[in-house]
Amino acid sequence: MNNKMPLIIVLSVFVLLALFWKPLDTLRPYYIVDETEQVVITQFGQPVGSATIKPGIYFKTPFMQKANYFSKNLLERNGEAGQINTLDKTYIWIDTFARWKIVDPLKFFQNVSTEKSAHTRLDDIVDSAVRNLITQYSLIETVKNTDRKMEILEFDSAGVREVSATVTIKMGREKIIAAITEQARPKLEKLGIELVDVKIKRLNYSDEVRNSVYNRMIAERKRIAEKFRSEGQGEARKIEGDMEKELKRITSEAYRKAQEVRGKADGEATRLYADSLGRDPEFYSFVQTLEIYKTALDKESSLILTTDSEFLKYFKGYQGKRTPTP
The predicted model scores a pTM of: 0.57
Q: How far is CA 127 from CA 81, 84, 94, 113, 286, in A?
A: 10, 10, 10, 21, 119
- Cα–Cα distance between 168 and 157 in angstroms, integer? 30
The DSSP output letter for 7 is: H
pLDDT in tens, the chain (326 residues): 456 677 767 667 666 555 555 565 666 787 888 899 999 999 888 898 888 889 888 888 887 888 899 999 999 988 888 888 888 888 888 899 999 999 999 999 999 988 899 999 999 999 999 999 999 988 888 888 776 665 555 545 444 444 555 667 778 888 999 999 999 999 999 999 999 999 988 888 777 767 776 777 788 888 888 888 888 888 999 999 899 999 999 999 998 899 888 888 888 887 877 776 677 777 777 777 777 777 777 777 777 777 677 776 766 654 444 444 44
Q: What is the CATH number of domain 75-205?
A: 3.30.479.30
Helices (H), 1-155: 5-20, 105-111, 115-134, 139-143
DSSP string for 230-273: HHHHHHHHHHHHHHHHHHHHHHHHHHHHHHHHHHHHHHHHHHHH
Neighbours of 171 (CB within 10 A): 18
- Locate the domains of the chain by residue range: 5-71, 75-205, 221-279, 280-321
